[in-house]
Amino acid sequence: MDRKDFELLDQDRLFLDGLDKKWEAINDGSKWILIHDFVLPDGYTENTVTLAIRIEAGYPMGPLDMMYVYPQIQRKDGKQIVAADVFQALDQKQFQRWSRHRTTDNPWVFGQDSIETHYYLIEEAFNLELAK
């Protein structure tokens, strides 16, 4: 569990190394970053997941999009999570896709945005979901 199938930009590698979590860069039809033991805020059926980020073909000029988790999670209060009902086969598992996208108020900015900024948006998305 230490696969590095492709090279990352230095800033991305340094950020991931600084997380103090195991992470992998795998090629499974697309390029993916897997971050193991990603801690979820209290309110979900799991405390930690493997978080997957697909490295889009145009990255870093083009945006990263969405997030994927394994195992599947639900809200503890039973409320439905909108746009998280599609699954992605990845690394011989079924990852739950959370369809979350940048907006015109928060567009991708080449030279400013990266895996790091996407990671923080993912953290925010998990918190925002619980506030609904």
Each residue of 15-24: pLDDT tens digit? Answer: 999 998 999 9
- Residue 59 structural domain: 10-131
Please check whether residue 5 lies inside any domain of the structure: no
Please check whether residue 127 lies inside any domain of the structure: yes
Instruction: Report the C-alpha dihedral over residues 89, 47, 5, 13, rounded to 10 degrees.
Output: 140
Please check whether residue 118 lies inside any domain of the structure: yes
- 115 burial type by CB count under 10 A (0-12 exposed, 13-18 middle, 19+ buried): buried
Confidence of residue 106 (pLDDT cuts 50, 70, 90): confident
Please check whether residue 99 lies inside any domain of the structure: yes
The yes-or-no verdict on residue 1 having pLDDT over 80 is no
Q: What is the pLDDT of residues 75-98, one digit of tens each?
A: 999 999 999 999 999 999 999 999
The yes-or-no verdict on residue 3 having pLDDT over 70 is yes
Please check whether residue 2 lies inside any domain of the structure: no
Q: Is the pTM of this model over 0.75?
A: yes
Cis geometry, peptide bond prior to residue 71 (ω within 30 degrees of 0)? yes
The yes-or-no verdict on residue 42 having pLDDT over 90 is yes
The yes-or-no verdict on residue 115 having pLDDT over 80 is yes
Q: Which two tokens stand for residue 18?
A: 């600084």
Q: What is the pLDDT of residues 26-41, one digit of tens each?
A: 999 899 999 999 999 9
Please check whether residue 82 lies inside any domain of the structure: yes
Please check whether residue 17 lies inside any domain of the structure: yes
The domain total for the chain is 1
Confidence of residue 55 (pLDDT cuts 50, 70, 90): very high
